[in-house]
Structure 1
Amino acid sequence: MDNVAGITRSFLGQAWRWRALAADARDAGFQPDDMVTQLLLARGVGRDALQANRTPSIRGFMPDPSIFNDMDKAARRLADAVQSGEQITIFGDYDVDGATSAALMIRLLRDLGLAPQVYIPDRLMEGYGPSGEALVRIASGGATLIVTVDCGAQAFEALDMARDAGVDVIVVDHHKCAAALPHAHALVNPNRLDEGDGAAHGHLAAVGVAFLLGAALLRELRGRGFFAPRAEPKLLDLLDLVALGTVADVAQLKGLNRAFVAQGLKVMAQRGNIGLAALVEASRLTRAPTCSDLGFALGPRINAGGRVGRADLGVRLLTTEDVNEARSIAAELDRLNEERRAIEAMVQEQAELLPHGSAVAVVAGRGWHPGVIGIVAGRLKEKLGIPAIVIAIDDSGTGKGSGRSITGVDLGAVVLAAKEMGLLVAGGGHAMAAGLTIDVDRIPEFAAFLEERLAAAVANAREDRALLVDALLAPGGVTPDLCETMEAGGPYGMGWPAPRVAAGPFRIVRVDVVGNGHVRAIVAGDDGRSLKAMAFRSADTLLGQTLLQAPRDRKLWLAGRPKVDDWGSRPAAELHLDDAAWAD
């Protein structure tokens, strides 16, 4: 495959290549297309599906919920509970996916006339997922049906205790499953090993699975004539929650997930959910939220409650009908998010000083806050280019770990295998992220297990590493109009990467460090037109240092994501850098 601008080795030691499918499309003799079509082709869309992907709709991508194992059984049990007015408790996880999943179920059941309760476990005191003690306690409080969302697929002992206590449990999850499944009234999870057609939707976040359950429930109630004397709830009004949970959980934005996010952003712009509206205000956003805002502004604030504050704050915010309460909770989450940033920075600084494996970085420390280890693992992964697991060890010698992986390396599967081999007390996850509990004495053995199991996959993933580019531009080609055109191919996120362009050649006019270690470069082409380029968090990296020390008389190519900088009086385009290379 031809290298973009002839770059075979950049500042970061990689080649720049055209996205493979776009090149394949051109090689197949297709006529030149508009840019949005090329962006869609480069992301794997067939020509017969171009129109559906240009304007992704729920109708265009929604499957029949009945294709999933246990979906109809779960819908019937929920419909029985609605019609008889049973007490239902929604048991959620403490992250954004868990909070949005729980909020969706609560809001839907409220609209159906029930008053569901919610239970979010405390991250520090109870850990991930349902415990048997918690489920029994919920049952003793009068609940006859418990719905776990974003958890439960590995809760064997807990679900056995719930069954013995006489309470039905419906599990709504998306994490990887073992061959054996825990005993539940219904277990809806597209990643069950015995899943049939539903397995094609294994990329859904839990909130997406919850939405499908909501659709199945409404269909079941409609078939029973439940809505003859009353209005049917508008399930599509809850897509703002689905969009937030999907993006924040870094689910792949392909197929149905793209429709969820595209349509959910439209719902969010209407500010019908007063909790989300308050969160947008607390995040200091003055425009309708974008996909990026969900991941970098709203999601972290919802997460902050579960990480360093009270675990139920996110669900309370997303389900409240009181404007004053919404603003109060949003302000508290904003404060907790700042606290989380400080704790995260401390843990990351310590983690980066520790030795680690060559294929997988496994680092552990005593006193680290378990609420930030997932974020730190993500930072390490980005910096080192290999999967990373960060483990916080408590006073009893138990480690709570969180891992993040690189494309092409299934971390969840290997963590599940380690659990089945007895190396872990608990563990699970999906391809790109995993969580675990481990005795401190087993950490070296676990790290060695990961090195052995993943060394080949990591090596292959890194050997194939190249910067994929969608367009090659002249120095004056990065414009606000270009940014607007490229946005039409979104929403962008995991599995549907934002467009990257290579532009140049440029000379550096000025370069400095701003903010929290960001490198800012003002560059200009031969025509004299200048462009601002930002390399975030790069002051101490190879990319940042090379830019800072680059000779002013030497030309270079820049590669990154074009963005509109709308802070000034007139919108201008800038380039958020991923890499750079000499042009001579």
Structure 2
Amino acid sequence: MNPQDPGAAPPVSGSTTALADHGASPPDRVLNGSGGRRWRVPATPSLDVFSGAEWPPLISLLLARRGVRNIAEASHHLGKPGELTDPALMPNLGVAVDRLERACAEGETVAVFGDFDVDGLTATTILTEALDDLGARALPYIPDRFSEGYGPNPEAVRRLHTQGASVFVTADCGTSAVAEVELANELGMDVIVIDHHTVPDALPDALALVNPKLTDSQYGSEPAACGVAHKVAHDLYERRGRTYDPAEHRALVALGTVCDLAPLVGENRDLVRIGLDALARSQRPGLRALAAAAKVDLADADPELCGWQLGPRINAAGRMDHANIALQLLLADSEAEAAALAGRLDALNRQRRQDTLDALELADEVLTPAEREAPLVMLANESISRGIVGLVAARLVERFHRPAIAMELHDQPSADGGSTLVAHGSCRSIPRFDITALLRRHGDLFQRFGGHRAAAGFSLDAARLPEARERLVADAADHLTPDDLTPTLEIEAELPLHAVNGELLRWLHRLGPYGQGNPVPTFLARGVRIEAPRAVGADASHLQFTLRAGRVTWRAIAFGNASNAVPDGDLADIVYRFRRDGMRGTLQLEVLDLRAAEPDLEAP
């Protein structure tokens, strides 16, 4: 590929045949953007299978890029949500429901041990409400992120047993908790694991391990833990012969699925579509109070509202204080209680944002030029809270476009009565680099570690930090090329602004909801005129302007692009997507990058 190649993607006007004809062009065209960024325009696949479709050719192209293979699959994708997957296909769900039905019938105490993120909290809420309503005594428990960490721990297992729990249920954790499940068994508790995380080689000896990722699973999709919990609740109501109104739980499933970045494909996409409708009408006091605190309207529920407004405030509890605050909010019965809790979460979220900004300012101060340009950025400091290390790592990836590790350093009590300085790290990566594989290749460094391709965490004796830095950076250098480390925007199609109309926008809406696995479509428009550009935002880093193409005008916002502004009245090439303006309730363009129009890329 030649990064200087000025070639453009084929325009979307015309028939699907015309689009397919352009597939003879080079596999990828790579264009120079601004600030060292590149724009990659993939070749157009054959669209013959969509011949005669009722939708515009652009929609066929976007469907093909998402793996849709024919008109029948496309019609299902664009139609209303259909039948959800048969719960009987979920591994061990029947065994779990059998035991929980008996617990409800006999009024047993059931511990529900959840995770401290949105998925874990929504799953815990669903299970707690269902068990309480059906006759059991639910005992929800969320661990402290700082003193207990992720997943079941022996002290918590013993405490819940002492409080009378005869059944121990995990929500969004437990698949790797071999020792803790063994302890629960020894104490006489029946263990039900409700989870969706990657399955390790050694599995816990639970009565039921309900996880769609088990190797013999025939479920066919991978719902988040809240989705698995909803399946359990649905069948439990049916087993008890009780009518189940799933609307409020479906709203929680949409929220948890989006915030956990579960892929919005297959059943997950339908769960979110159904759940967003339920969220828009939700009467749950906690969600309504949280929306009010965030100054948003649940009637406008979409993935962005979940992921950028509600989710961060819920997560702020576990990051900055204790996730029990968020659980209490979701379980709150009264509007007054919910309003007070939502106010606390909103304040914690503001503090979380400020702490993240402070950590990034620290990075600017302490990272040397060589450390910033290394193939792996590593930042360790006592002032970075463990609750935000993942957020800081993610922001470092955005800033430097390379894998990043952020670490909190703190004293951990040792067995001899002293203390040891320990680094608790969180890792985030770029698409071409498996960050957990990196940790696995150097597993001898860590006290514990785990994660997946894009994100991971670990703890490390800080005395070994220099060795870890040297080994991990050298390993990243062996596995990454300069091409991998160049920020690249993936463009799905060229879409001139004059080709956008109401019909196309309605079809684009039906292609959603967008998220992980179903990204918001990104387009290229050439030779559009910039009007009235101005820097906005607290640090004047964003750019607001109007785009004109002939008689067509669009309001536009370009986050973080003020330094790449094109002068007023000049022509520009832009990479953009459609975005709802929450302030005005109208559609605008979010410009991801822009540059002065090149002569051979001017609009025809």
Please, what TM-score do these two structures have when normalized by structure 1? 0.87
CA distance in structure 2 between the partners assigned to 1:289 and 1:564 by the alignment:
12
Answer whether contact 1:476 1:525 (CA < 8 A) is retained.
no
Q: Deviations over 1:222-253 (max 9, x none)?
A: xxxx31xxx33233541111111111111111
**Residue 179 of structure 1: CA displacement?**
0.7
**Residue 545 of structure 1: CA displacement?**
1.8
1:432 corresponds to which residue?
454
CA distance in structure 2 between the partners assigned to 1:92 and 1:357 by the alignment:
39
CA distance in structure 2 between the partners assigned to 1:245 and 1:44 by the alignment:
25
CA distance in structure 2 between the partners assigned to 1:288 and 1:56 by the alignment:
19
The more displaced of 409-418 and 311-320 is 409-418
Alignment of 1:358 onto 2:371: no
Q: Deviations over 1:266-318 (max 9, x none)?
A: 11111232211221121111343211100000000111111112321111111
1:71 corresponds to which residue?
93
Answer whether contact 1:502 1:560 (CA < 8 A) is retained.
yes
CA distance in structure 2 between the partners assigned to 1:413 and 1:299 by the alignment:
28
1:4 corresponds to which residue?
9
Select the structure with the greater relative contact order (CA < 8 A; seq sep ≥ 6).
1
- How big is the alpha-carbon RMSD for the aligned residues of Structure 1 and Structure 2? 2.9
**Residue 565 of structure 1: CA displacement?**
3.2
2:415 corresponds to which residue?
none
Query: AA paired with 1:384?
Result: F
Q: Deviations over 1:507-558 (max 9, x none)?
A: 433333211444224244463654333222x1xxxx54222xx455652211
**Residue 121 of structure 1: CA displacement?**
0.9
Query: AA paired with 1:283?
Result: A
CA distance in structure 2 between the partners assigned to 1:444 and 1:190 by the alignment:
40
1:255 corresponds to which residue?
266
Alignment of 1:325 onto 2:334: no
CA distance in structure 1 between the partners assigned to 2:139 and 2:441 by the alignment:
35
Pick closer, same or farther for the CA change 1:457–1:214 going to 2, 3 Å.
farther
CA distance in structure 2 between the partners assigned to 1:130 and 1:277 by the alignment:
31
The more displaced of 353-362 and 304-313 is 353-362
CA distance in structure 2 between the partners assigned to 1:413 and 1:187 by the alignment:
26
User: SS of the residue aligned with 1:151?
Assistant: coil
1:579 corresponds to which residue?
593
CA distance in structure 1 between the partners assigned to 2:305 and 2:139 by the alignment:
30
Picking from 114, 118, 125, the partner of 2:147 is 125
Alignment of 1:54 onto 2:75: no
Answer whether contact 1:344 1:375 (CA < 8 A) is retained.
yes
Gaps of 5+ in 1: none
1:300 corresponds to which residue?
312
Pick closer, same or farther for the CA change 1:261–1:461 going to 2, 3 Å.
farther
Answer whether contact 1:175 1:429 (CA < 8 A) is retained.
no
CA distance in structure 2 between the partners assigned to 1:19 and 1:276 by the alignment:
41
Answer whether contact 2:286 2:338 (CA < 8 A) is retained.
yes
Alignment of 1:334 onto 2:351: no
Pick closer, same or farther for the CA change 1:411–1:582 going to 2, 3 Å.
same
Pick closer, same or farther for the CA change 1:358–1:55 going to 2, 3 Å.
farther
Alignment of 1:531 onto 2:554: yes
Answer whether contact 1:4 1:16 (CA < 8 A) is retained.
no
Alignment of 1:26 onto 2:40: no
Picking from 392, 395, 401, the partner of 1:379 is 395
Q: Deviations over 1:181-210 (max 9, x none)?
A: 233222222334x34434x434x3221222
**Residue 350 of structure 1: CA displacement?**
1.5
Query: AA paired with 2:271?
Result: F
User: SS of the residue aligned with 1:503?
Assistant: strand
1:212 corresponds to which residue?
231
1:499 corresponds to which residue?
521
Alignment of 1:271 onto 2:291: no
Picking from 426, 430, 455, the partner of 1:406 is 430
Superposition map of 1:163-182 within 5 A: 163-182=185-204
Pick closer, same or farther for the CA change 1:526–1:304 going to 2, 3 Å.
closer
Pick closer, same or farther for the CA change 1:171–1:505 going to 2, 3 Å.
same
CA distance in structure 1 between the partners assigned to 2:579 and 2:73 by the alignment:
27
**Residue 361 of structure 1: CA displacement?**
2.6
Please, what TM-score do these two structures have when normalized by structure 2? 0.84
Gaps of 5+ in 2: 2-6, 11-28, 413-420, 599-604
Answer whether contact 2:432 2:484 (CA < 8 A) is retained.
no
Pick closer, same or farther for the CA change 1:27–1:406 going to 2, 3 Å.
farther
CA distance in structure 2 between the partners assigned to 1:76 and 1:290 by the alignment:
35
CA distance in structure 2 between the partners assigned to 1:450 and 1:488 by the alignment:
44
1:140 corresponds to which residue?
162
**Residue 99 of structure 1: CA displacement?**
0.7
CA distance in structure 2 between the partners assigned to 1:461 and 1:171 by the alignment:
42
2:67 corresponds to which residue?
44
User: SS of the residue aligned with 2:386?
Assistant: coil
Pick closer, same or farther for the CA change 1:332–1:358 going to 2, 3 Å.
same
Pick closer, same or farther for the CA change 1:578–1:400 going to 2, 3 Å.
same
Q: Deviations over 1:485-511 (max 9, x none)?
A: 422211001111012222231243333
Pick closer, same or farther for the CA change 1:432–1:161 going to 2, 3 Å.
same
2:291 corresponds to which residue?
280
The more displaced of 456-465 and 131-140 is 456-465
CA distance in structure 2 between the partners assigned to 1:188 and 1:297 by the alignment:
30
Pick closer, same or farther for the CA change 1:445–1:181 going to 2, 3 Å.
farther
Pick closer, same or farther for the CA change 1:160–1:307 going to 2, 3 Å.
same
**Residue 51 of structure 1: CA displacement?**
2.1
Query: AA paired with 2:326?
Result: G
Q: Deviations over 1:34-62 (max 9, x none)?
A: 24444333222222211221135261xx3
CA distance in structure 2 between the partners assigned to 1:166 and 1:559 by the alignment:
60
Answer whether contact 1:478 1:562 (CA < 8 A) is retained.
no
Answer whether contact 2:106 2:135 (CA < 8 A) is retained.
no
Query: AA paired with 2:564?
Result: T
CA distance in structure 2 between the partners assigned to 1:130 and 1:67 by the alignment:
27
Answer whether contact 1:112 1:233 (CA < 8 A) is retained.
no
CA distance in structure 1 between the partners assigned to 2:174 and 2:249 by the alignment:
23
CA distance in structure 2 between the partners assigned to 1:476 and 1:319 by the alignment:
49
CA distance in structure 1 between the partners assigned to 2:48 and 2:486 by the alignment:
21
**Number of residue pairs matched by the alignment:** 558
Answer whether contact 2:126 2:249 (CA < 8 A) is retained.
yes
Alignment of 1:546 onto 2:564: yes
2:221 corresponds to which residue?
201
Query: AA paired with 2:221?
Result: H
Answer whether contact 1:244 1:294 (CA < 8 A) is retained.
yes
CA distance in structure 1 between the partners assigned to 2:233 and 2:486 by the alignment:
41
Answer whether contact 1:10 1:582 (CA < 8 A) is retained.
no
The more displaced of 119-128 and 500-509 is 500-509
2:508 corresponds to which residue?
486
2:105 corresponds to which residue?
83
CA distance in structure 1 between the partners assigned to 2:427 and 2:216 by the alignment:
26
User: SS of the residue aligned with 1:207?
Assistant: helix
Identity of aligned residues (%): 32
2:577 corresponds to which residue?
561
**Residue 134 of structure 1: CA displacement?**
0.8
